[in-house]
Chains A and B, each alone.
Chain A
Amino acid sequence: MITVEHIHKSFGDKPVLKDVSYTFETGKTNLIIGESGSGKTVLMKSIVGLIVPDSGDIKYDGRLFSQMNGNEKRKLRYEMGMLFQGGALFDFMTVEDNVKFPLDMFTDRTEAEKRERVQFCLHRVNLTDAHKKMPSELSGGMIKRVAIARAISLNPRYLFCDEPNSGLDPRTAGLIDELIEEITAEYNITTIINTHDMNSVLKIGTTVAFIYKGNLWWQGDKKSILNTDNQELNDFVFAMELTKRLKK
């Protein structure tokens, strides 16, 4: 479980996050949604420690991030996996080496054990014949799957996904969503997904937090989101022509 309490963040004199408090639950796919520029990426980067908030607390299963020393923060990072919007695969490594990289850096396993783990992770994301390919030879969906395999290689407790479906066709996007949901339940991970893809919200949004102009504007789940009377959320959810027609 990850808890954020009263998070504030400004860039210059422009406030980006205003007193955001929320709890992301374990074993669930927790979605953060909002318009571009609403502050959801800043919230996620604050949670993973890439941005330091101006005030507020972030707790990882009760462990206060701001009170951890360097060693504790490093250990916490070994428990994190992150899926970036573009995949962020290391382009000078093969698929196999990308997935093996965290194992090389942080474990003392033998080469055979590491290869076995790589094989398992790639098999788990349904990629069995891409070991020797370079990232530049992969499609968008394959890049995302390799990135997920790398993120789960160290059995993380926390998985962060920044716009996992961006740039993917609806079918592949659906497969990535299913994969993240399955892995979350299978390994009892606290998963936080940053998205503005309504398909994802309706498919895997076990909990949903709507960020609007830096505020936590609404919270609920994939069922309640369609019946809310929150005007800003409705404007966001039913902005697409398809959802508008469905509502009618």
Chain B
Amino acid sequence: MKWLSEIGEYCLFLKSVFTRPIKWRIFFKRLVNEMQLIGIDSLLIIMVIATFTGAVAVIQTAFNIDTPWIPKSLIGFTARQALILEFCPTILSLILAGKVGSLIASEVGTMRVTEQIDAMDIMGINSASFLVLPKIVAALLFFPILIILSIGFALLGGYLVTVFTDLLTVAEYVDGLHLDFNPFSVGYSMIKTVVFAFLITSISGFHGYRIRGGALEVGQASTRAVVDSSIFIIIFNLILTQLLLS
């Protein structure tokens, strides 16, 4: 029954996080800082991973659709669908769970064990809201931008494959990208991203905030933050896919 008690604690934590900030000016200042830490600092890793994932997706698809009966433009189509619907929102969110989740849990956890959170509580500041709300809002605003960019870089990775190999021509790839494009697939990808952004930041913040102990517990909380975020991303991926695409 420990998990049930943890879910209860998590709900109470969210209740204290979603309260009105004491000073909006300070909230926006922190929001900008968090966008830098959570979003802009993740740009490089997202660009690199997305580009290589896109390239691999095109190569894998080309090797598996190796028949003259299927037009080669379908390689671009299949890679595009896989990248927009699954690879970019889900796989890159899992990567972000590792990078951003551990950052949040260790930052908040260190503040807990060094009594910085107690100092805020004694001042009369809602520490959960002050520390975690800007992180959640920053992720909700910035993760969709990261995923849109990652889709662009993944498609670019696929394009580079067509330029440097003879698996298919650039024209066939571009034809495939245009083929039967439904803008809802991008909307679906964004909905998933927003949900994953919320899960990553709130779960990681929760694990960091409830730490009792010292440096060892900070490490353990970071690990749990990444593991739990990843598990919930996978579970919610299934639920959202069923709800939105069925």
Contact = CB atoms under 8 A, between A and B. Distances in A.
A88 B23 CA distance: 22
B241 interface: no
Contact of B115 (A49, A73, A84, A106): A84
A244 B115 CA distance: 35
Contacts of A86: 114-115
A22 interface: no
Contact of A105 (B114, B121, B122, B125): B125
Task: Rank and list the top 9 A-B pairs by shortest CB-CB distance, nearest first.
Answer: A77-B124, A88-B115, A88-B119, A84-B115, A74-B124, A82-B122, A88-B116, A48-B122, A90-B116
Contacts of A76: 124
A80 interface: yes
A85 B119 CA distance: 11
Contacts of A89: 116
Instruction: State the majority secondary structure of interface residues on B.
Output: helix
A50 B118 contact: yes
Given A104-B26, A105-B26, A78 B116 contact: no
B123 A77 contact: yes
A102 B123 contact: yes
Interface string B198-227: 000000000000000000000000000000
A50 B121 contact: yes
Contacts of A82: 119, 122
A88 B114 contact: yes
A169 interface: no
Given A84-B118, A88-B115, A106-B124, 17 more contacts: A50-B118, A76-B124, A78-B123, A78-B124, A80-B122, A84-B115, A84-B119, A89-B116, A90-B119, A91-B111, A91-B114, A104-B26, A105-B23, A105-B123, A105-B125, A106-B123, A160-B122
A235 to B, nearest CB: 30
Interface string B73-113: 00000000000000000000000000000000000001100
A242 to B, nearest CB: 30
Interface in A5-62: 48-50
Contact of A104 (B23, B118, B121): B23
**Which interface class (under 10, 10 to 19, 20 to 34, 35 or more) fits A?**
20 to 34
B231 interface: no
A104 B118 CA distance: 18
Contact of A88 (B26, B118, B125): B118
A61 B116 CA distance: 27
A74 B124 CA distance: 5
B171 interface: no
Nearest to B107: A92
Interface in B18-39: 22-23, 26
B15 to A, nearest CB: 14
A75 B123 CA distance: 9
B34 to A, nearest CB: 11
A104 B120 CA distance: 13
Interface in B117-166: 118-119, 121-125
Interface string A163-197: 00000000000000000000000000000000000
Contacts of A77: 122-124
A75 B119 CA distance: 16
A43 to B, nearest CB: 15
Interface string A143-159: 00000000000000000
Nearest to B22: A105
Contacts of B119: 82, 84, 88, 90
Contacts of B125: 105
Interface in A85-131: 85-86, 88-91, 102, 104-106
Most buried by B among A74, A75, A90, A105: A105
Contacts of A50: 118, 121-122
A106 B21 CA distance: 12
Contacts of B23: 104-105
